[in-house]
Amino acid sequence: MAAIKPGEKFLFQGSPVRIVRLIDLYKVQVAGSNKKPFEVDWRELVQIPEDSATKNPNEIFALSEKDLALANKRYNIIRPIVASPGDGAIVKKASQDHKVPVTTLYRWVDLFRTSDGAIESLAEGRGKSLDGRKLIEDALEKIIADAIEEKYLTPNRKSITKVIEEVAVQCRKRKLKPPHNNTIRSRIHDIDQRDVIGRRKGKNKAKDAFGDRPGEFPDPVHALQVVQIDHTPIDLILVDPVHNLPLKGRPVLTTALDVVTRMIVGYYLSFLKPGFISAGLCLSHAILNKDKTLERLKLEGGWPCWGKMAILYMDNAKEFRGFSMAKACDKFRIHTEWRPRKNPRFAGHIESFQKTLNAELHNLPGSTFHNVKQRDNYDSEKMAALTFDELERYIVNFIVHNYHVRVHSQLKRPPIAVWEEQITGNGSTIPAIGYQAIPDEADVKISFLPWFTRTIQSDGVSHETISYYSNTFKPFIKRTERGRGKKLKEYEFRHDPRDVSHIYFFHPTKKEFEKIDLARLQYRHLKPSIWEYKATARALRAKGLKEVDQDRIFRAIALANEIEEKAVARKDLIKRDQKKAKKQDSENPVTVVKPKVDDDDPFAGINLDEIKPY
């Protein structure tokens, strides 16, 4: 669906209407032809079919890491020009600061605007340097780089002239024409000055010259302008839903918070260590509509937050700096920034929520509290009672029905009220920003999944020892790289660690992802996580089985699922019997028999919690 904001056109009951204004988070005023404005629920509006195909948003995934870096570098140069069109002073300053001709800057701006803000458009002309000149051959580049490394970037502090002389000497030895002196100077000027001073004068001098002097946190003025994301371990021990036994490890919650409104726009809860998977799944949840989340957790109420943020403010952790994250953020035009190291106050908004949430969770059975002193003699494992699903439901219920609706200590208003003011413009000094277009769920989720590359063989591809195949592969089997002899071409794939039953193949011709199922048809109904798959393999090897291939692992998973389903069914039956027993006369109690493990259970003596983590 298109954006929900004044001026946008939709169909209502088959007739075209235009949004006049947003009344609240769900009601809008619309007007049709020759009719007075009237109120409707925007969820009843229907998208008007587009007349022509739009640009493929997956075009960016066709870029290499080098090309993407080039496009981003150019984007950061022209960003001030795009933000202030018609300001010649800004163009002149950018030209001087980055040594790029004014005409080249205008060409980049035109490429960016005519492509509707597609960063990948700036990778055009990849055979040229940033100032439009052709790159010199690799042999000369290596000679220049070696000369700079050996003569210039040393405590001896040789001059640029000495570097030029060294390049000339090495070129004569190899019978190459030396590059122009200005080319060598340009390469030296391109080096980060902090690195130059550090290598020539020492790290302390570099720190004095370029040490962090952070100012204030960026001051956003509207919703989804700046969103913070961070991880926090939950101070709670959980139990498995079948045996009610304590689970090892603590769950980790990744949350994304809108700075202006303090609304929680996304989350992801798991037993994973903080990493790209958790960060990516949290971001995809933040961008998507939350109705399915509330429906899955059987929660009433509304969580009217979705849409891409303009700036994503993150910790310096490596999971936020991966190539997959960079590509996904660039695709959705999300600018990423990192908080200065050792300056936790720059993430104070999200950390404040995390502390509030953990304080709330300390009231639940099984809490480990913040430290040993707080826990005192409390036996967290013995008191643990909540399952993973129950904890997730509790957290979302707290966010939607408590945190969002109560008065925030700094805002002096409930976050949901500030969010509504931002969306509708009612009572605000800034125009209504409305709702962004509801993005395609599959597209967003796939974009933020981790990636890998593989050559395509006759039997498909393999990832984590698991085979995948599709007829889609046929044109690409054993295809070689153009101009690189017999080197096989590698293709990009995405995988969801939570479900190894399929992967996603980026089709180089269609420029879109296609779902690729397991090569073995009989196991496609199973949907184990990669951790379950690996844990099952370890358990089988621990039993002394030498040959543990994917067939044996999937058969074991299928049997484990069957055993678990029987155990759950027996547990439900026992609960029903216990309820009946309470209603009966106390002199004739119902005897409850504990379920026994099947005789053919191949996992006897193995901790099933290690095989199926929740």
Q: What is the mean pLDDT of each run of 10 residues along the chain (614 residues)?
A: 84 87 90 83 84 53 70 85 74 85 78 69 56 61 87 85 91 90 78 72 66 52 89 88 79 93 94 83 94 94 92 72 74 79 61 90 80 57 86 95 93 93 80 84 89 92 93 91 80 90 92 92 88 86 79 87 75 67 57 47 47 41
Query: Is 575 within 8 Å of 540 (Cβ atoms)?
Result: no
Please report whether residue 218 resides in a domain: no
Please report whether residue 219 resides in a domain: no
Residue 247 sits in the same domain as residue 269 = yes
CA quadruple 320, 326, 331, 332: dihedral, nearest 10? 30
> What residue spans of 159-307 are helical by DSSP H?
160-173, 181-189, 193-201, 203-210, 276-287, 291-296
Final residue belonging to a domain, choices 469, 491, 523: 523
Instruction: Specify the CATH number for the domain of residue 30.
Output: 2.30.30
**For residue 157, how far is the Cα from the chain centroid?**
44
Distances (CA, A) of 543 to 59, 200, 252, 310, 534: 48, 59, 31, 52, 15
Instruction: Specify the CATH number for the domain of residue 165.
Output: 1.10.10.60
Final residue belonging to a domain, choices 523, 540, 563: 523
Within a 13 Å sphere around the CA of 494, how many CA atoms are in the beta-carbon half? Answer: 27
Only one residue has tokens 């044109």, namely 475
Residue 45 sits in the same domain as residue 68 = no
Cβ count within 10 A of residue 418? 21
Please report whether residue 133 resides in a domain: no
Residue 349 sits in the same domain as residue 426 = yes
Residue 331 sits in the same domain as residue 270 = yes
pTM over 0.75? The answer is no
Residue 424 sits in the same domain as residue 326 = yes
* Model pLDDT, residue 543: 82
Only one residue has tokens 């980060």, namely 192
Please report whether residue 566 resides in a domain: yes
Query: Is 492 within 8 Å of 443 (Cβ atoms)?
Result: no
- State the total domains in the chain: 6
* DSSP state string for 419-464: HHHHHH-TT-SS----BPPPPPHHHHHHHTS-EEEE--BTTBEEET
* Model pLDDT, residue 190: 64
Provide the β-strand partners of residue 269: 253
Residue 434 sits in the same domain as residue 479 = no
* Model pLDDT, residue 505: 95
Distances (CA, A) of 353 to 278, 340, 348: 18, 20, 9
Please report whether residue 217 resides in a domain: no
* Model pLDDT, residue 92: 83
* Model pLDDT, residue 307: 92
Residue 186, both tokens: 């340009």
Q: Which of 614, 609, 570, 613 is nearest to 592 (CA)?
A: 570
- Listed in sequence order, the residues at least 6 apart from 522 whose beta carbon sits closer than 8 Å to its beta carbon are none
Residue 268 sits in the same domain as residue 301 = yes
* Model pLDDT, residue 269: 92
Q: Which of 46, 47, 29, 51 is nearest to 38 (CA)?
A: 29
Please report whether residue 128 resides in a domain: no
Residue 381 sits in the same domain as residue 328 = yes
Cα–Cα distance between 66 and 76 in angstroms, integer?
A: 16
301: left (phi over 0), alpha (psi -120 to 50) or beta: left
Residue 242 sits in the same domain as residue 367 = yes
Residue 373 sits in the same domain as residue 515 = no
376: domain range?
226-439
Q: pLDDT tens digit string along 285-330? A: 999 999 999 999 999 989 999 999 988 888 766 656 666 777 788 8
Cα–Cα distance between 261 and 274 in angstroms, integer?
A: 26
> What residue spans of 127-264 are helical by DSSP H?
138-147, 160-173, 181-189, 193-201, 203-210
* Model pLDDT, residue 375: 54
* Model pLDDT, residue 130: 40
Residue 420 sits in the same domain as residue 299 = yes
Residue 306 sits in the same domain as residue 353 = yes
Final residue belonging to a domain, choices 439, 465, 480: 439
* Model pLDDT, residue 348: 72
Please report whether residue 458 resides in a domain: yes
Query: Is 423 within 8 Å of 223 (Cβ atoms)?
Result: yes
